[in-house]
Amino acid sequence: MTDITLHNAPQSTCSQRVRYALHAKGLTFDEIKLDLFSGDQLKPEYLAINPNGVVPTMVHDGRVITDSAVILEYLEDVFPDVTPMRPTDPVAAAELRAMMRFVDEVPTPAIRIPSYNLAFLPHFQAMSEEEFQALCDSKPLRREFLMKMGRTGFSEADMNEAMGRLKRGVERMASWLDASGGPWILGADISLVDLSIMPVIVRMADINLDTVWADHPAIGTWLDAIRDTEAYRATYYHGSLLTEKYPHLASLRAERDKADA
């Protein structure tokens, strides 16, 4: 019996990648949900298994695996015959890893900027300057990120840069889909690249940034396809989308849907 425990957070995009992989492979796991705004990821017991103080962390048969991209690869190494999502050919596997690296370098960090400004900022604005500084100093991996944001949010220049990176990510994804013929990024079968970029595209749609792929309908078709999978429905349980947690975002979404109707 495989013993898997996933320490994660419902709305964490990196956690969503791993949840999807586990569900897609049909692996049973215990899920420990961390409240990131309560600082669960900075408690001594969690830092003991992940000193970076971020989610997710997977414990498999007593062995600790951190970093979502690493966990995805680990699951392919340990369960290669269960819904394989990485090519066996070394060259094709290398191409997949290069795609994943692009996703992690360009759109994945970029989506954090609008996410924080549009959803999370009120939480930080409610803090005193001293409380906010203490929070920043407690972050092993994200101190500088929070310091740059401050209690007033990321600047217009930061937002423009992030949107530019997201646009490049969408354009690259569209080119991959065009080259493979779809429905997935590598062609007929879903792969780790799809899982890597999935939380970015889902988040963009959730916070009204799906207009970015207006000229790339293949992205919308891909999103519909992944939403139609059982693994998606299990991964995005209620509370996983920002609009399900933050009423002001839900209101903006409702207003847009009404205008589009």
Q: Residue 22 belongs to what domain range?
A: 4-78
pLDDT tens for residues 191-248? 999 999 999 999 999 999 999 999 999 999 999 999 999 999 999 999 999 999 988 8
The yes-or-no verdict on residue 255 having pLDDT over 80 is no
SS3 198: helix
Check which CATH number belongs to the domain holding 24 and give it: 3.40.30.10
Instruction: Show Cβ contacts of residue 124 under 8 Å, excluding neighbours closer than 6 positions.
Output: 132, 135, 146, 149, 151
Q: Is residue 99 domain-shared with residue 225, that is, in the same domain?
A: yes
Residues 170 and 248 in one domain: yes
95 part of a folded domain: yes
Cβ atoms of 71 and 58 closer than 8 Å: yes
Residue 259 pLDDT:
74
| Residue 27 C-beta-side C-alpha neighbours within 13 Å | 27
Distance CA 89, CA 194 (A): 18
Determine contact, residues 124/149, Cβ cutoff 8 Å: yes
Query: What CA–CA distance (Å, rounded) separates 235 from 222?
Result: 17
Do 33 and 102 lie in one domain? The reply is no
Question: What mean pLDDT is reported for the chain?
Answer: 95
44 and 100 together in one domain: no
Mean pLDDT confidence for 77-94: 97
Distance CA 17, CA 197 (A): 8
**One domain, residues 10 and 96:** no
Which CATH number does the domain housing residue 99 bear?
1.20.1050.10
**Residues near 160 by Cβ (< 8 Å), separated by ≥ 6?**
none
pTM exceeds 0.85 for this model: yes
The pLDDT tens digits for 96-146 are 999 999 999 999 999 999 999 998 888 889 999 999 999 999 999 999 999
- Residue-wise pLDDT for 30-54, tens only, equals 999 999 989 999 999 999 999 999 9
Are both 170 and 231 inside the same structural domain? Answer: yes
pLDDT confidence tier of residue 252, bands split at 50, 70 and 90: confident
**Same-domain check for residues 184 and 59:** no
Overall number of domains in the chain? 2
